[in-house]
Amino acid sequence: MANLETKYLGLTLKNPLIVASSGLTKTPQKIEDCEKAGAGAVVIKSIFEEVLTQDASKIEQSIEAHPEAYDYLLSELELQYGFDEYVDLIKAAKDKVSIPVIASINCTSEHYWPEFAAKIEEAGADALELNVFSVIASRRKDSAEVENMYYNIIKKVKAHTKLPVAMKIGSNFTSLPNLVYNLENRGLDGLVLFNRFTEPDIDINNLDLKTTFTFSRKTDYHQILRWAAILFGETKIDLSTTTGIHTWESAVKLLLAGATTVQLASVLYEKGVEEIHSFNERIEKWMEQHKLNSIEEFRGRLSFKKSHSPQTYLRSQFLDKLRNIE
Ligand SMILES: Cc1cc2nc3c(=O)[nH]c(=O)nc-3n(C[C@H](O)[C@H](O)[C@H](O)COP(=O)(O)O)c2cc1C
């Protein structure tokens, strides 16, 4: 029988399918449902920095009259404004399930997270995923400054916790391999490629702005396929992939490209978490058909470095493909 066991962030997962941070992992009950459906691990719904920073500004306003209380109140912020609940959620999840539970914090700065990381470790999480994103809208910030923010976050978080730490990033970097190299040198253990964001839109009837969010589509995995393949062998960091993995076939493709694990959200919203069972069954059957006993036997086999036609991952096929359409 094929063995789907996978190592991710130093943890042993019974298979490489992770339920991505989302509403599917926001309560202990839902996390237990994910385990029952056969998930290898879960990433809990993120706690968002914005919540805390807004709270911080409220506190700042409310304590003008009592400046001596400021530091104290700030240090208690998480207790009064939701962090406590997050810690309780981690503890309750750990009581309920035996699969690894990865906590997730959504950071836009390096300010708050190192201390929270330590508390997340105390609460019993098995690992930490940092969902880092900020839109740069100032010409005064160059790419080095932006990348330094990523480096500082990981340096500081690693100084405050012994937990393995993964970073979930967007895809827009000038040199992703260089960014990853620098993150690895600062102690990063895992990289999640890539986050999906809400996007801005304009309501032309009310002449106003709005925010949109849609589930991914099953054709959205090609970008993560490219980058898992290019980064495999370039870094020792574990590569986890997310966005557009809707079928067991795309999960297999990502493992062949070099991903250690695949994270699912949209497909599970659309079909239910039980879909994980069928992914596992089909992957196992595929491995047996190809006489593969373990994931390690084929992981990265079609990566940029190992495949016979690595150029496919670059741009050279582009013109040929377009010519066929024209
Ligand atoms: C409803 C919903 C809520 C999400 N919330 C979070 C979140 O709190 N933190 C996070 O890092 N990603 C969040 N995500 C992103 C998912 O973790 C995942 O990376 C993304 O949806 C891409 O995977 P998919 O194509 O399978 O949906 C959310 C996604 C969905 C659909």
Count the Cβ atoms, other than its own, within 10 Å of residue 149. Answer: 16
| Protein residue closest via CA to atom 4 of ligand 1 | 22
**Whole-angstrom distance, CA of residue 278 vs CA of residue 325:** 35
**Whole-angstrom distance, CA of residue 156 vs CA of residue 226:** 30
Atom number of ligand 1 nearest to Cα 245: 26
Atom number of ligand 1 nearest to Cα 213: 31
Q: What is the pLDDT of residue 37?
A: 98
Residue 59 pLDDT > 70: no
Which mutation among 18, 21, 248 tests ligand 1's pocket best, with the greatest number of atoms within 8 A of CB? 21
Residue 72 pLDDT > 50: no
**Whole-angstrom distance, CA of residue 30 vs CA of residue 20:** 12
Give 309 Cα–ligand 1 centroid separation in angstroms. 32
- The CATH class given to the 6-325 domain equals alpha beta
Q: Which residues are 105's β-sheet partners? A: 47, 130
Looking at residues 221-248, what average pLDDT do you find? 97
Dihedral (C-alpha) 44, 287, 248, 309: value to the nearest 10 degrees? Answer: 100
- DSSP letters, 224-264, are HHHHHHHHBTTBSSEEEEESS--SHHHHHHHHHHT-SEEEE
**Whole-angstrom distance, CA of residue 263 vs CA of residue 27:** 18
Q: What is the pLDDT of residue 320?
A: 61
Residue 6 pLDDT > 80: yes
Residues 153-209 have pLDDT tens digits of: 999 999 999 999 999 999 989 999 999 999 999 999 999 999 987 788 899 999 998
Query: Quick one: residue 124, left, alpha or beta (phi over 0 = left, psi -120 to 50 = alpha)?
Result: left
- DSSP letters, 104-162, are EEEESSSSSHHHHHHHHHHHT-SEEEEEE------TT--HHHHHHHHHHHHHHHHHH--
Residues 295-323 have pLDDT tens digits of: 999 999 999 999 888 888 886 555 666 66
Atom number of ligand 1 nearest to Cα 46: 8
| Protein residue closest via CA to atom 22 of ligand 1 | 243
Give the confidence band of 56 by pLDDT, cuts at 50, 70, 90: low
Q: Which two tokens stand for residue 101?
A: 């539970």
Residues 275-302 have pLDDT tens digits of: 999 999 999 999 999 999 999 999 999 9
